[in-house]
Chains A and B, each alone.
Chain A
Amino acid sequence: DGGITQSPKYLFRKEGQNVTLSCEQNLNHDAMYWYRQDPGQGLRLIYYSQIVNDFQKGDIAEGYSVSREKKESFPLTVTSAQKNPTAFYLCASAKQGHPNYGYTFGSGTRLTVV
C-alpha cells in the first residue's frame, strides 16, 4: 500500500544537538511538506518542496534545514539554532497539479528536548 512513513515515532534530543527526522513516501507525489504542531495551535509550515533539488522556506523555517535529493525522501534536520524544538512534527505529500486532492500525512514524530 502507498503511504508516507515518518521515523522515528519518538525522538529525544539533548541541548545543542542536531537531529534528523525521516520522511519517505511511495505515492509518487511531487510535493512534500514539513509541519510543526504545538498544543492549541494549527499546523505551521516549516519547509516545502515541489520538485527534486528544490525547496522553499515556510512560515517558521529558522533553526531547521531540509534536503530533497530524491522524489521519495524529504528529511528534516532540527538544528541547535532552533530554541524550542519540542513539538510534534508532521510530514505530508501531495500530487503536483492536483491540489484539491488534499494532502496525505505521515503519522508524525514527537521530538522532545531533554
Chain B
Amino acid sequence: AQSVTQLDSHVSVSEGTPVLLRCNYSSSYSPSLFWYVQHPNKGLQLLLKYTSAATLVKGINGFEAEFKKSETSFHLTKPSAHMSDAAEYFCVVRGPGDSNYQLIWGAGTKLIIKP
C-alpha cells in the first residue's frame, strides 16, 4: 500500500533564508510524487511533480524537489523564502494502476515566513 508522511506540521523560516519541507513515502512500485500548495481558503495548485524522469524536479515559484529512492524521500526546497510563500504544502503520491490514479495525501506542512 502507498502512504506519505510529512515530517513537520509547521515550518517557520525568516524571509530570505532557505526552505526545507520534508516528505517520506512508501510505495510498492515506482511512484509518481507531487507537491501542491494551498493558500488560505483557496484551492490547491500543483507546484511540481516527479514521474520517473529526472530525479531533481524544478517547479514554479523557485521550488524544487529531489526524488531519493534509497531514502524514500521527496523533500521540497527553495533557496530563499519570500513572504508570498506562506501557505500550506502537501506532498502526494499517486495511487496504483493506469486508469485509477487517485492521489494519497500527506497531512500538510504549514510554512510560516517571518519578516
Give me the interface of A with B, judged by CB distance under 8 Å.
4, 6, 33, 40-45, 48, 50, 58, 88, 90, 92, 94, 96-97, 99-100, 102-103, 105-108, 110
Contacts and interface: CB of A to CB of B under 8 A. Distances in A.
11 contacts: A43-B90, A44-B105, A45-B102, A48-B102, A88-B41, A96-B99, A99-B94, A100-B49, A100-B51, A102-B46, A108-B41
Interface of B: 4, 9, 32, 34, 36, 41-46, 49, 51, 90, 94, 98-103, 105-108
Given A88-B41, A99-B94, A100-B94, 6 more contacts: A41-B107, A90-B43, A97-B98, A99-B98, A100-B51, A107-B43
B42 A42 contact: no
Interface of B is mostly: loop
Contacts, number: 56
Contacts of B43: 4, 6, 90, 105-108
Contacts of A103: 44, 46, 103
A99 B101 CA distance: 6
A43 B102 CA distance: 11
A108 B98 CA distance: 28
A58 B104 CA distance: 11
Contacts of A100: 32, 49, 51, 94
A9 to B, nearest CB: 8
Contact of A42 (B32, B41, B102, B108): B108
A57 to B, nearest CB: 12
A94 B32 CA distance: 15
Contacts of A97: 98-99
A105 B32 contact: no
Contacts of B101: 94, 99
A94 B103 CA distance: 11
Contacts of B51: 100
B42 to A, nearest CB: 6
